[in-house]
Structure 1
Amino acid sequence: MELRHLRYFLAVAQEGHFARAAERLNIVPPALSMQIKALEEELGGPLFVRTSRKVELTEAGRLLQTEAQRTLDQAENACQTVRRSLRGETGQVRIGFAGNAVFSGKLTRDLRTFRQHYPDAELVVSEIAPLAQADAVLAGQLDIGYTPDHDKLHSPALVAEKIGLWKRIVAMADDHPLAGQSHLTVEMLAAEPLILYDAHGADESLYAALSHLLGHDPHISHCSASSLSVLTLAAAGQGLALVPEPLMHISVPGVVYRPLDVAELAANLMLVSRKEANNGAVMAFLAIARGEGIRE
């Protein structure tokens, strides 16, 4: 028995007439009559009492009418549930992020836009260190990561796309000797202890660029996977912190920010996902994060 047989049966039951039911179904009456006869043969008995003017349901037909309607309603509900999932309207999106994503406003905008258009989908958002994000996405524990670029992102199983690029600035204690400068140069950093965001992990590219510009390995006093920890160390006079420009919006007591206009030290933000991602809600979120607009 196929669903179309149940639809044919219900049309005849509701219309009480083969010709009207056939017109409603957009098929010819003889074809409809043959389909109903085949259904009766499959079930083992008559479903209708046929007269010259109309058809009426038998007792078996009345039982089937109830069950057929319930079956078709369940099938339609199943289709609607799957369609909503494929469109991203339901389901879960697990997102990991590093500081840049929040302080730049990028993650917040993406989350807000997604919530406005997909209110029934579930968002799970966690602050996770950049290197751990790549591992979590590969392991299927995260769906999407917002992270600075690093070597682990270049796995063939991942898709890594640049979604942000900012200048690097220097955060320092307000009583540091360089705090009186309106802007800093790389040469001014040569003898200074530096504080980097996860220097030998997520920010290996920054470490390499500094080494090239200075002509020697930089003096790294601290490295941390937390943006607030980096700023706290700078406020405590533990060194100069090289941070992305969006962090200057964070007001930390005892910290001042100074520009460092060196293109080679730019900070980026990457959007990371699995190549084989097929979750409807995840795909919808990725489209928003990529600026592709809202999926219809």
Structure 2
Amino acid sequence: MELRYLRYFVAVAEELHFGRAAQRLHMAQQPLSRQIRDLESQIGVELLHRTKRTVRLTQAGQVFLTEARKTLACAEHAVRLAQRTSRGEIGEFAVGFTGPALNSVLPKIVRLFKERYPQIDLALERLQTNEQVEALASGQIQAGLLHPPIENDTLILETIHREGLVAVLPDTHPLAEARTEPISIKELSNEPFIFYPRHVGPVLYDRMISLCQQAGFSPNIVQEVIPQQTILGLVSANIGISLLHASAQAFAPSGVVIRQLLEPTPELELAVAWYPDTVSSVLSSFLEIVREVAFSPKL
């Protein structure tokens, strides 16, 4: 049954006059009368009792009117939802992120997104960079905040944040005393190091090893763990020291001291990533906010 039959019937049922209903529907009276007859024929029920002077609803017509109104309202609601979804005002959107993103730009991005698009269900999933690449390919997430470079030429990446490395020491370490003074990486040559596994970020991992080697030593790595909270916890427990991105100091637990390094360090890049063939209104809105936060750090 076509929705237009329901619209015709509701107009006649509310007006109880074919002439007025035809005017309301911007059509001639005779075709309207014929459409109502066709509707009654389709469902096999008389909906209207007609005389030369009056039109009134049958008992079946009264029941049908109630349900016809509900059906038309549902159809109109579906249209509005589809239109709002197309405009990026409602829907679902999944984003992957790494620990450093949580320490830097992600809270600002999420806050602005929820303020501007409260009816979009924003799902956040913490994933390593390599896991995000797989999740983007499978459609599990629609955008990722990850660390380049990656081995995928089809993804679009925009760098939105950069930060250097700092030394992370237990507060009982001799180098932890002068907390405001930078230290040289050379002073860490005999220390046990806690790193993340190389497969998590091979490029930055190799650059950190190279930083140590340029200072004349190879780091003695005693533990390789993730996530960053575990690294910080092990440092606090005096298992070793570490090199982490500078924003980690915002979440450093008690028992941990952050020291700046004298030498230039490799930078940890954070980029937003997405597939060009998955661009939608919601993704465009998300990228707009990401860029706003990236270029307006005081937000």
TM surpasses 0.5: yes
Structure-2 change in CA distance of 1:162 and 1:197 (3 Å): farther
Tell me the equivalent position of 1:134: 133
Any conservation in 2 of the 1:277–1:283 contact (CA below 8 Å)? no
CA deviation vs aligned residue, 1:126-156 (integer Å, no higher than 9, x gap): 544443343344445555543333535x263
Distance 1:53 1:24 in 2: 19
Partner of residue 107, structure 1: 106
In the alignment, structure 1 residue 9 sits paired with structure 2 residue 6: no
Displacement of 1:179 in angstroms is: 6.0
Per-residue CA shift, 1:57-96, capped at 9, x if unaligned? 34554443233223223323444555565545354x5554
1:148 and 1:270 in contact (8 A); partners too = yes
SS, match of residue 134 in structure 1 = helix
* TM superposition shift of 1:160: 4.0
Identity of aligned residues (%): 29
Q: Which amino acid aligns with 2:73?
A: D
Count of residues in correspondence between the two structures: 287
* Residue pair 2:129, 2:201 contacting (<8 A) in 1 also: no
Tell me the distance in 1 between the aligned counterparts of 2:141 and 2:234. 30
Task: Report if aligned partners of 1:197, 1:226 keep a CA contact under 8 Å in 2.
Answer: no
The aligned counterpart of 2:297 is none
One-letter amino acid of the counterpart of residue 166, structure 1: E
Q: Distance in 1 between the 2:96 and 2:144 partners?
A: 5
Gaps of 5+ in 1: none
1:25 shift after superposition: 2.4
Distance 1:122 1:194, change over 3 A: farther
* Structural mapping, 1:4-83, within 5 Å: 4-43=4-43, 47-51=47-51, 54-58=54-58, 61-80=61-80, 82=82
AA aligned opposite 1:162: T
Check if 1:171 corresponds to 2:168. yes
Is 1:148 aligned with 2:147?
yes
Q: Say if 2:95 and 2:124, in contact at 8 Å, map to a contact too.
A: yes
In the alignment, structure 2 segments of 5+ residues that lack a partner are 294-299
> Quick check: 139-148 or 64-73, which moved more?
139-148
Task: Tell me by how many angstroms 1:100 deviates.
Answer: 1.0
| 1:123 shift after superposition | 5.0
| SS of structure 1 residue aligned to 2:199 | coil
Q: Following the alignment from structure 2 to structure 1, what is the Cα–Cα distance between the partners of residues 69 and 99?
A: 54
Aligned partners of 1:196 and 1:243 also within 8 Å:
no
Task: Give the TM-score normalised by the residue count of structure 2.
Answer: 0.72
Residue 206 and residue 284 in structure 1: after superposition, are their counterparts in 2 closer, same or farther (change >3 A)? same
How far is 1:201 from its partner?
A: 2.2
Using the alignment, how far apart are the partners of 1:251 and 1:22 within structure 2?
A: 73
Equivalent residue, structure 2, for 1:98: 98
Tell me the TM-score normalized by structure 1. 0.72
Deviations, residues 160-205 of structure 1 (Å, cap 9, x unaligned): 443322232222244344864822456x368355746525223322
Kindly provide the CA deviation profile for residues 222-264 of structure 1, in whole angstroms up to 9, marking residues without a partner as x.
Answer: 4332212323344455554222221222343343222237666
Q: AA paired with 1:245?
A: A
Which amino acid letter does the alignment assign opposite residue 134 of structure 2?
D
- Structure 1 pair 225/135, CA: closer, same or farther in 2 (3 Å)? farther
* Matches of 1:201 and 1:147, distance apart in 2: 14
1:77/1:220 Cα in 2 relative to 1: closer, same or farther (>3 Å)?
farther
CA pair 144-185 structure 1, distance change in 2 beyond 3 A: same
The aligned residue for residue 201 of structure 2 is 203
- How far apart in 2 are the matches of 1:163 and 1:30? 66
Distance 1:20 1:44 in 2: 26
- On the 8 A contact 1:172/1:179 being kept in 2, the answer is no
